[in-house]
Amino acid sequence: MNFYRGEGRMVVMDESGEVAARSVQDYIDETPYWADGTVAPSSPMTAMQWRIWFLASAGKFFEGMVVFMTGVALPLIVREFNLGAMEKGTVSAATLFGILIGATALGGLADHYGRKNMFIVEMVLFVACLVALVFSPNYIFLVTFLFGMGLALGCDYPTAHMVISESIPSNDRGRLVLSAFAFQAIGALVGTAIGYLILHKAPELSAWRYMYGAAIIPAILVVVGRFYIPDSSHWLVSKGRIREAEEALRRLLHRKPHYPKVIKIAPPVENGNGYVKENGKGSYADLFKGKNIRSTILASVPWFLQDLGTYGIGIFTPTILGSVIGAKAVYERNVADLIHNDMLAAKGAAFIDVLLLVGIIAAVFMADKVGRIKLQVVGFIGCAIGLFLASMSMTVHSDSSMSMTLLFSGFMLFSFMTNMGPNAITYLLAGEVFPTNIRGKGAGFAASFAKIGAVATAFFFPVLLKDFGTGLILTFLVGCSFLGAIVTWLFRIETSGVNLEEL
């Protein structure tokens, strides 16, 4: 027969003989133990916790899908709307610029209006802009709706992390948050594959519309699912809404056999752990006060530096491959040549994108064992080595086997190391190092700051590739990766397995 206790102890009673009030995380971390006192390693996940995880994972999937699909769709869009280099850069950067704005402007609202409300709003906005994008009649509408999708995906950066991390046991937080983040890599791979298949079945300029349209129905299903989850009890407690927090926690922890049978949450107190007397009030200025400054630098600067490489390389992998390994050696005399070249580059990009998935799987298994900081530092160094190998391919003849070997080896190493390290861990840390009352603002600010780098590369890469060549850009990104490793180590805060209320 099983008995249950929290943090290795029996249910605590107060002086009146009633169940003593405990924190939200104490209940979530509650683990079963056997009659002889043997404690289970972790608490089994409930059906609601898995539902929340899946619905949050979907947001990361759509981000990877639409952002990386742009790399395949871009040549068709450029030809259909007759775009120049600057306009091409704008199309590439529109979604990323939306993410930059949305992460702070909308993601921070989760601290005021609740995690669930913004979790729903962001996906409704994404679907509306996605549908409108498919029917865009001109360049202006195209950029507007790409930006709108970015707003929604930006809101998802802090919100998806929080709805997972505030709903699951501390010991599983790193593994499950990163497992959800892995769907960004899956989305990137699926987006590239869908682009290739649609080009194969519908070799026409309008094929890019079908690519984005493929995400509409799945996104609608996710919107519906998000209505049927409870709000974060952590957030409700930070607002002083104790009774609502208890009811939300009952829904979250509903399982068979049922435990805990009685939930009594302690009211917020001034303890420096995210629960504050002023009902969770906090501002962006708090991110730059006291100990929060260290958290803000750690969450923001390395993420910015890794986004310079991840998004720049990710979006333009088909273009770079096409220019270096000869996928576009044939002059594009007509639409058929354009699509043929695009399909060749898409296949090469898909092959490399597989390494993104392999890298994030490695991070899932190592983040809680090795530690966030070590993985991020090692990942940055690996990214630098990969980009250096890729830059070396520019020094040999473009048609030689050595050039192709260096380019593919470099991009493959970069893709693996960035998702094993900085691309995954920066996202994880940003949602962990801030207290509850400003967690949305902190994670949102970090994501927005990071996307300044993503937008810069997406907007300027078309021009820089033309004026300076691939080699110089890759060399610059090598330096950024080394700098990311240095900043991570200097401002390190290890969060592996630490209770969110204790951080």
d(CA 270, CA 290) in angstroms, rounded, equals 16
Query: What local confidence, expressed as pLDDT, does residue 278 receive?
Result: 41
Give the whole-number percent of the chain exceeding pLDDT 90.
Answer: 33
**Looking at the domain assignment, is residue 136 inside a domain?**
yes
Domain region containing 149: 47-231+281-326+333-490
Q: What is the pLDDT of residue 465?
A: 65
Model confidence band, residue 279 (pLDDT cutoffs 50, 70, 90): very low
pLDDT at 164: 94
pLDDT, position 6: 44
Task: Give the chain's radius of gyration (CA, Å).
Answer: 23
Collapsing DSSP states into helix, strand and coil, what is residue 281? coil
Range 404-431 average pLDDT: 86
Distance, in Å, from the CA atom of 213 to the CA atom of 193, rounded to the nearest integer, reads 14
Q: What is the pLDDT of residues 479-491, one digit of tens each?
A: 999 999 999 999 9
178 in any annotated domain: yes
Q: How far apart are CA 64 and CA 26, in angstroms?
A: 34
pLDDT digits (tens, 9 = 90+) for 439-472: 889 989 998 898 888 777 766 766 666 666 667 7
Residue 226: what pLDDT? 96
pLDDT exceeds 60 at position 324 = no
Query: Per-residue pLDDT averaged across 14-19, rounded?
Result: 55
Between 302 and 330, where is the model more confident?
302
CB 484 within 8 A of CB 305: yes
Measured between its terminal Cα atoms, the distance across the chain in Å is 35
Q: For position 353, what pLDDT does the model report?
A: 60
pLDDT of residue 210: 92
Q: Does residue 431 fall inside a structural domain?
A: yes
> What confidence tier does 275 reach under pLDDT thresholds 50, 70, 90?
very low
Q: What is the pLDDT of residue 281?
A: 60
Indicate the pLDDT class of residue 503, thresholds 50, 70 and 90.
low
Q: What is the pLDDT of residue 280?
A: 47
* Band of pLDDT at residue 319, cut at 50, 70 and 90: low
- What's the mean pLDDT in 101-112? 88
C-alpha 328, offset from chain centre: 32
Give strand pairing partners of 3. 33
Higher pLDDT, 206 or 3: 206
Q: How confident is the model at residue 411 (pLDDT cuts 50, 70, 90)?
A: confident
Asked if the structure places residue 500 within a domain, the reply is no
Of 367 and 325, the structure prediction assigns the larger pLDDT to 367
- Position 274 pLDDT exceeds 70: no
Please state, rounded to an integer, the average pLDDT across all residues of the chain.
Answer: 81
- Give me the pLDDT at residue 308, please: 84
pLDDT the model gives residue 159 = 93
Listed range (143-152, 153-162, 222-231, 312-321) with the worst mean pLDDT = 312-321
pLDDT-derived band at 99, boundaries 50, 70, 90: confident
Q: Cis peptide leading into 318, omega within 30 of 0?
A: no
1 pLDDT band, cuts 50/70/90, is: very low
What pLDDT band is residue 119 in, cutting at 50, 70 and 90? very high
429 sits in which H/E element: helix 422-430
Using the predicted structure, report yes or no on whether residue 331 has a pLDDT greater than 90: no
When pLDDT is cut at 50, 70 and 90, the band that residue 5 belongs to is very low
Residue 495 has a pLDDT of 86
Is the pLDDT at 129 greater than 70? The verdict is yes
In a 10 Å sphere around its CB, with 0-12 CB exposed, 13-18 middle and 19+ buried, how is residue 64 labelled?
buried
Residues 217-238 as b or e (16 or more Cβ within 10 Å = b): eebeebbebbeebbbbbbbbbb
Structure tokens at 386: 């990969």
Contact yes or no for 335/348 (Cβ under 8 A): no
Task: Give residue 133's pLDDT band: very low, low, confident or very high (50, 70, 90).
Answer: very high
Cα 158-103-208 angle, rounded to 5 deg: 110
| Domains: count for the chain | 1
| Lowest model confidence (mean pLDDT) among 248-262, 288-302, 369-383 | 248-262
Residue 248 lies in a domain: no
Is the pLDDT confidence value at 328 over 50?
Answer: no
pLDDT in tens, 49-65: 999 999 999 999 998 88
Backbone torsions φ then ψ of 5, nearest 5 degrees:
-150, 165
In a domain, 2, yes or no: no
Average pLDDT of the residues in 141-155: 93
pLDDT higher than 70, residue 327: no
pLDDT: is 314 or 97 the higher one? 97
Decide if pLDDT at 18 tops 50. Answer: yes
Q: Per the domain annotation, does 80 fall within a domain?
A: yes
Residue 334, pLDDT above cutoff 80: no
Higher pLDDT, 376 or 43: 376
**Element (DSSP H or E) covering residue 107:** none
Token pair of 174 as six digits: 């790193």
**What's residue 41's pLDDT?**
67
Q: What is the CATH number of the domain that holds 161?
A: 1.20.1250.20
Among residues 361, 362, 415, which one has the least CA distance to residue 385?
415
Tokens at 371, concatenated: 């530690």
